[in-house]
Amino acid sequence: MGGTYDYMHSGHKVLLGCALLIATEHITLGITSNKMLGKKKNNSAIQCFQKRRESVHTYMTYFDPSVELNLVQIEDPVGPAKDQPFDVIIVTPETYSGGEYVNKVRKENGFSELGIVVADLVQDPKANKEAGASVKNDEKISSSGIREYIMTKIDNSSEKMEYLRDQWHELFKDLNIEATEFRDYWFDRVREKYVESWRYYHTLNHVYQLLKIIDEEK
């Protein structure tokens, strides 16, 4: 199984829980690299790979610590599923065609097809839906919806978000800290604090405005 796992939500937990209920010994899970996510909506708000990996690992080990986990970064849509001796692949209704594509690639490479298990989508609590009805893509809880909310905290401006990220990077350069994974991880952690729902004044946009004033005074 694979995915972005940006801002861990209940839909992710259903998918991961399904995998843990099925697996008896081992799960390999591919997490997309940030390079693969450039075309996603509001991509400037996407969490770094390290933060997304941590969220997946924390949830899965809490759910069932007995299952061996192999969390890998993937640079293409198929990842290790193209030629590894797996048994099943877990998808959602919207990614079912991706599971079929994985089997097509495996067959071309001389490997057996995987069983496809479908985990249902989770409805966004804000969606007006009758109980028992199937959940459509535009009614599901999603990371894209969370990113859309985050961007409202900075005037829906990807330029402002990238400016904040650049300023964070400059801070680490000034401190002679070269650990980019550590840098990116803590940018995400700090950003999460400034988009909390109870904040009204001290938001990302406020931080942006202060940094711009400092820039102008240099």
pLDDT score at 126? 59
Q: What is the secondary structure of 65-113 as a DSSP string?
A: TTSEEEEEEESSSSGGGGTS---EEEE-GGGHHHHHHHHHHHHHTT-PP
Q: Report residues of the chain scoring pLDDT below 50.
A: 127-137
Per-residue pLDDT reduced to its tens digit, 166-184? 999 999 999 999 899 999 9
Q: Which residues contact 157 (CB under 8 A, 6 or more apart)?
A: 151
Torsion of CA 184, 189, 190, 196, to 10 degrees: 140
Give me Rg for the CA atoms of the chain: 20
pTM here is 0.86
pLDDT score at 24? 85
pLDDT score at 163? 97
Three-state SS for 25?
coil
